[in-house]
Structure 1
């Protein structure tokens, strides 16, 4: 048996963390001395602790790790493999985002070194006034927090595509996200996911055509906030006002492009003249 101190030293996990893991049921001491409360771990538990450390280094949350450790033995390898594949995709997405950020920083440094203001890129964002046509959309509407966005987008669009496949519906356009909340709230935003289809069935509605200020983003979704700011500036400057919720049309599928620089997103702000 190993004392909590010895177990802590071998696995490089503090005794405070080990006590917390015990409280949450992640890994419990094999034995607790009833007289003095000293905690002891078995040699066999080293393997489990090393697995926990390994999964943590792969960016799994403690809740995710606990769920994995509670899997039945006959399902463990298969479910763990699936979880690792999913987490690998998440890590790759983060790496791609960091690479894009580094490229952006490099451009900003180059601009500053040559006397170009860091925010001058806003002047390069083009805005045009367009008249859109009405669309019949299959939709799902959900309150989503900031942390929900990454997984939520894929999950809800997948549900829509599954319904389209099951009911043999006809797709007429690429996915759309409509943002209904009047202000940003990190705890939850009224978000509508939609796909234009031909058939009017349960779960569809009309997205009316309207006059819109439109801009196109070529690159990472992180650029969208800059485009939103440019659109609002243009609307104010040109004497228009917003009449309904802004929406994004995803021209490219993020799962089918080689990098963030290949993403194309159209942004529409429905407007009318003041």
Structure 2
């Protein structure tokens, strides 16, 4: 048996935390001396405590860990795999966001070192008024968290490509996203991930944006919000208003292009004259 101090030292968890864990029923001492209240833990509990530490490091909540530890062995292993896969996805999403942020930061520093604005690459953006013809799209609409956005594009577009391949559909344009959220929401964006197809079959739908303003952006996806700002300046100046949700068309594949500064995205905003 190990005293609470010895157990604390081995597992690198404070005695205060161990007492809290016992209070919430996460891990209880194997034995408590009724005379002096001293707490003792068994050697076999070391592995349990180390597992708790590991899962906490993955930002799995104490509630989830407690529920996991209460399961039978076969259920425990199955649930643990589900939790770890979920966290792996979340961490990959965060890494993608940070990687793109670092690339953007480097671009901003280069612009500033040249004596230019961080938005200097946006000053020459053109806004064109275009008529976008009606098409069929195969799509998935989902509420996507901010962290999941970039990784979500890849995962969900892969699902659509798989469906196109399995059903023998004909892709007639690059992937696109349609933004249905009317306002910024902390919990995420209501986004429709879509690929234009030739056939009208179960699962496809009409997409008819009509008259739009279009801006081609060369650079990181994070610059798209700046494009929206410039487009809305144009709307006010030219007396147009928005009629339908905005959408982006991805001319380049980020996995093939590599550097975010070489990404090409067409940004559309359906409009009408006031």
Q: Tell me the equivalent position of 1:224.
A: 224
Deviation (angstroms), 1:269: 0.5
Matching residue of 1:104: 107
* Equivalent position SS for 2:123: helix
Aligned-pair distance for 1:246?
0.3
Q: Distance in 1 between matches of 2:200 and 2:188?
A: 30
User: Does residue 93 in structure 1 map to residue 93 in structure 2?
Assistant: no
Measure the CA separation in 2 of the matches of 1:154 and 1:38. 54
In structure 2, what is the Cα distance between the partners aligned to 1:37 and 1:217? 68
Instruction: State the 1:211 CA deviation.
Output: 2.1
Report the CA distance between 1:247 and its aligned residue.
0.4
Which whole-Å CA distance do the structure 1 matches of 2:19 and 2:215 have between them? 53
User: Is the 1:242–1:269 Cα contact (8 Å) retained in structure 2?
Assistant: yes
Q: Are 2:64 and 1:61 aligned?
A: no
In the other structure, the counterpart of 2:124 is: 124
Structure 2 matches for 1:180-191, cutoff 5 A?
A: 180-191=180-191
Residues 19-168 of structure 1 mapped to structure 2, 5 A cutoff: 19=19, 28-29=27-28, 31-33=30-32, 35=34, 38-50=38-50, 53=53, 59-62=58-61, 66=65, 72=74, 83=85, 89-90=92-93, 92-107=95-110, 109-111=112-114, 114=115, 116-150=116-150, 152-168=152-168
Q: Is this contact kept in 2: 1:145–1:185, CA < 8 A?
A: no
- Equivalent-residue separation in structure 1 for 2:64 and 2:259 (angstroms): 30
Distance 2:63 2:220 in 1: 28
Contact 1:174 1:195 in 2 (8 A): yes
In 2: Cα distance, 1:109 partner to 1:37 partner:
64
Alignment CA distance shift 1:190-1:86 (3 Å): closer
- Displacement after TM superposition at 1:28 (Å): 1.9
Unaligned 5+ segments in structure 1 are: none
Between the aligned partners of 1:260 and 1:24, the Cα distance in structure 2 is 47
Q: Does 1:250 align with 2:250?
A: yes
Q: CA deviation at 1:45?
A: 4.1
Structure 2 unmatched ranges of 5 or more = none
Partner of 2:3: 3
Question: Is the contact made by 2:211 and 2:270 (CA closer than 8 Å) also made in structure 1?
Answer: yes
Q: Distance in 1 between matches of 2:19 and 2:160?
A: 44
- Number of the residue aligned with 1:197: 197
Q: Give the SS at the match of 2:252.
A: coil
Q: How many residues align?
A: 267
Specify the alignment match of 1:269 in structure 2: 269
Residue 192 of structure 1: how far off its partner (Å): 1.6
The alpha-carbon deviation at position 39 of structure 1 amounts to 4.1
2:238 paired residue number: 238
Larger CA deviation: 237-246 vs 250-259: 250-259
Cα deviation, residue 212, structure 1:
1.5
Cα pair distance change 1:99/1:119, threshold 3 Å = closer
- Aligned CA RMSD, in angstroms, stands at 3.8
For residue 125 of structure 1, give the secondary structure of its aligned residue in structure 2: coil
Mapped partners of 1:24, 1:41: distance in 2? 17
